Amino acid sequence: MQNALYSLITGTGRAIPTRIVKNESFLKSEFYSASGERISKPVENIVSKFQQITGIEERRYVEDNMVNSDLGYIAALDALESSATDKESLDYIIVAHNFGDVLKSNAKTDMVPSLAARIKHKLGILNPDTVAYDLAFGCPGWLQGLIQADYYIKSGDAQKVLVIGAETLSRISDPHDIDSMIYSDGAGAVLVEAVQSDVPVGILAHKTRSDTYKHAHLLNMNVSYNPDYKDDTLFLKMEGRKLYEYALTTVPQLVSDCLNKAGVSIYDIRKLLIHQANEKMDNAILERLLNLLEVEDLEGDIMPMTISTLGNNSVATVPVLIDMLLKGEFTSHTVSAGDHLIFASVGAGMNVNAMVYKMSTTPAQQR
């Protein structure tokens, strides 16, 4: 095969807050419905049912003196160090998030300057040709950033791109909304480099879709469900049932289409790294994908999960999964040279994306 240009992940990093918030922390909460009525069901039952459905036992919240760009900076440093990359050699820094920096004391979005500019500043990068910008695309934002990095590399515009996903959802979650227990904080980052190879490696194919006509507002911002809340602060809200149905309808088909585009069989897939939104939903997506592809079963567990201990930290879930997987931190999940992976995400917009990725067969390429 003719030598070609590919986009390869050569470094990964993450920032996971040290503050652990267990489900028991919500036992004194007062939950309200979307109609503003206090939910009379015992909180113990609500929390127990929540854990059964989502699989979440605990989550991480950022420390009070930190903001989102701090997490992104820490993840970026980790990725640069793991790849032994000179920060001045970066062509792009792409930061996926949705709410900017939100202070503990002031729940308002702050995105000027951009988080990418703030992180570049924190890294101390002098190079003006390192272009830094933000990407708001819902939970699929980090993966969309990786897709953009692939376009830059394939066009010859970039050699090295740092793609970061960072979010502090704890700062914009309504304490009177049951869904607030889903959300968490964290960041993940990868360094993507251009490599020449006579066999396909790295990013093989990707697909994205946006369904705004009927589904644009399944995730939105609104006031607290508690009608007596102290002010008109806007919190993240979602129509859970409709979102669940949308994900089951769109994600399996998009993953199938992406596999076809890459010319890769589901039987060749070693791991599926999917956005950690809800354990029940992710398992249902995998089951529907296998049904769609007429696969009765796959050998072994192909879907590593972090949601039980890290919760849903939006754009950070997939890069955190990748970092842990490539650094060998899962007890029952490993990857080797030449393995095929799928990345997939779904979120606000509504947006869905997927990517087929092949681990390098050359140790010097895959650091």
* Short-list 207, 188, 103, CA closest to 147: 207
The domains located in the chain, with CATH, are 4-197 (3.40.47.10), 202-358 (3.40.47.10)
d(CA 315, CA 311): 12
Pairing assessment for the beta strands 219-222 and 202-210 based on DSSP bridges: unpaired
User: How far apart are alpha carbons 156 and 196 in whole angstroms?
Assistant: 12
Q: Which residue has the tokens 């059964």?
A: 52
Q: Are the C-beta atoms of 61 and 21 separated by less than 8 Å? A: yes
How far is the C-alpha of 14 from the C-alpha of 142, rounded, in Å?
A: 13
Q: Is the separation of the CB atoms in 205 and 356 below 8 Å?
A: yes
Residue matched to tokens 């830059």: 152
pLDDT 10s per residue in the chain (367 long)? 568 999 999 999 999 999 999 999 999 999 999 999 999 999 999 999 999 999 999 999 999 999 999 999 999 999 999 999 999 999 999 999 999 999 998 888 899 999 999 999 999 999 999 999 999 999 999 999 999 999 999 999 999 999 999 999 999 999 999 999 999 999 999 999 999 998 999 999 999 999 999 999 999 999 999 999 999 999 999 999 999 999 999 999 999 999 999 999 999 999 999 999 999 999 999 999 999 999 987 777 899 999 999 999 999 999 999 999 999 999 889 898 999 999 999 999 999 999 999 998 654 444 4
Q: Computed over its alpha carbons, how large is the radius of gyration of the chain? A: 20
Report pLDDT for 1: 55
Q: Of 161, 174, 52, nearest to 96 (Cα)?
A: 161
**How far is 48 from 41, CA to CA, in rounded Å?**
12
Q: What pTM does this model have?
A: 0.93
